[in-house]
Amino acid sequence: MIKNLIKSTLALSLAATVAFGAQGVMFNVASGDAEEHYNTMINSELKVAGYSLSDPHERINDGYAEKYGSTNLDNLGFFSITNDKGVRELLLSNPEIGGFAPFNLHVYKLKAEDKTYVGHIMPETMMDIVGVEDKGVRAKFAALFPALDKLVQEKIGGEVKYLEYDKLSEKPMMKFEIEFERPEDLTEYIDEFQGEFEAKFEENKYIIAGYKNFKETYDDNELEFDRYDAYYVYSLCHFKFSEGIFNQGRPDAGVFAPCSMYMYVEEGSNKLMIGMPKLENWISVMKITDQKKVDAIRALDKEIISIMKELGAKEL
C-alpha cells in the first residue's frame, strides 16, 4: 500500500541523508502476524528504551467490524508513549512539544497482506510540525528515539521503511488562548474547564482517548517543572472519521492518531495556552490524495477550531 511512497532501508540511523524529500514516518515491516510480539514489547519492555505507556487502544479494527459490519484489517492499534525523563527539560523550554508528547507507536496489519507494520512519525517531522527551530532542542528530542527504534528492531524486526514527503502546510498547528479570572486555588478553574471541554467534545461525537498530566507526574516524582502551574495533554479521537481513513485504505495514517492537544498555565498566569497539530499534516506527510479523505480531514480541523471557540478560546 505504501510501497510506491517509501524508500526501503535496513539502517536504523535517524540522521540518514534524504535524496528527494524529508523522511516523515518510519515503519518496521515484519513478515507474518507480529501482534503477540508487539503486545509483549509494548506492555513489558518499553522501559528498556526509557519509555512509558499510557492509554493504550488495541484492536480498533474489532470496533470497526462491530460498528460498521466489516473491516479490512487484522490489527490496528494506537499506543501512546512518552519518554517522561527525557522530555521534561524540553517541555520546560518548548511547551509546544506537547503536540507529540505522548506520541503513537502505531501497529497495523491488513487482512490482504501477511505483514505487520510498527512505526512512528520521525522526530524531525514532529519538531517541524510544532515549530521548534532551536537545533539543540531538536537534537535532544531526536536523541530519545534510537533506543526505541533499536527495541522495535530487536523485538519486531523486518525491513525498515520510510515514507517521504515534500513539505508541510503553511500553518501546521492550531493554537489558542483563554484568559480567565484566576481563583486562589487554580485547580477550581482547571477542573471546571476540563469538565466543559470533555463534555463539549463528547457532545460532538469525539472520544477522549487519553489524558496525561505532566505537571502532576513530575511533581509526584519531585522533578522540577516550576515554569508551569498546570500542564496536561488530551488525546482526541473521532471514531467515525477514523474509520473513514484507517479502515478505508490508509491505516498507515494512524501514526498521527489520536491527536494530542496540550494545555498549560505558566506560573502565576491567568491564561490557558492550548495547541494541537492540525490534521492537515496527515495530507502532506502521508500524501493523502483521495478527495473524500482530504475533505474529511479539513472538515475536522475546522470543527475542532469551532468547538474551541465555543469554549471561549481565542485562536492565535
Find out whether 255 and 283 touch, Cβ atoms under 8 Å: no
| pLDDT of the residue at 21 | 76
Counted domains in the chain: 1
- pLDDT band at residue 278 under the 50/70/90 scheme: very high
Burial per residue of 22-34, b for 16 or more beta-carbon CB atoms within 10 angstroms, e otherwise: bbbbbbbbbeeeb
Amino acid at 192: E
Q: What is the pLDDT of residues 199-220, one digit of tens each?
A: 999 999 999 999 999 999 999 9
- 202 Cβ neighbours under 8 A, 6+ residues apart: 208
Find out whether 80 and 235 touch, Cβ atoms under 8 Å: yes
Q: What is the pLDDT of residues 50-89, one digit of tens each?
A: 999 999 999 999 999 999 999 999 999 999 999 999 999 9
Tell me whether residue 67 is in a domain.
Answer: yes
| pLDDT of the residue at 14 | 34
pLDDT at 13 > cutoff 80: no
CA–CA–CA angle 199, 104, 77 (5° rounding): 85
Domain that holds residue 262: 6-315
Q: What is the pLDDT of residues 139-184, one digit of tens each?
A: 999 999 999 999 999 999 999 999 999 999 999 999 999 999 999 9
| pLDDT of the residue at 264 | 98
Tell me whether residue 207 is in a domain.
Answer: yes
Q: Report the CATH number that the domain containing residue 102 is assigned in CATH.
A: 3.30.310.70
- pLDDT band at residue 2 under the 50/70/90 scheme: very low
Tell me whether residue 1 is in a domain.
Answer: no
Tell me whether residue 36 is in a domain.
Answer: yes
Which triple of cell numbers denotes residue 115? 505483514
Tell me whether residue 162 is in a domain.
Answer: yes
Which string of DSSP letters, residue by residue, matches the chain? --TTTEEEE----TTPPPSSSEEEEEEEEEES--HHHHHHIIIIIGGGGT-EEEEEE--HHHHHHHHHS--SEEEEEEEEEE-HHHHHHHHHH-GGGGGGSSEE-EEEEETTSSEEEEEEE-HHHHHHHHT---HHHHHHHHTTSHHHHHHHHHHT-SEEEEEEES---S--EEEEEEE----SSHHHHHHHHHHHHHHHHHHTT-EEEEEEEHHHHHHHTT---TTEEEEEEEEEE-HHHHHHHHTTT-GGGGGG-SEEEEEEEETT--EEEEEEE-THHHHHHTT---HHHHHHHHHHHHHHHHHHHHTTPEE-
- pLDDT band at residue 19 under the 50/70/90 scheme: very low
State yes or no: cis peptide before 102, omega within 30 of 0. yes
pLDDT at 8 > cutoff 80: no
pTM, rounded to two decimals? 0.92
| pLDDT of the residue at 4 | 37
CA–CA–CA angle 164, 168, 174 (5° rounding): 135
Which residues on adjacent β-strands are paired with residue 31? 115
Tell me whether residue 57 is in a domain.
Answer: yes
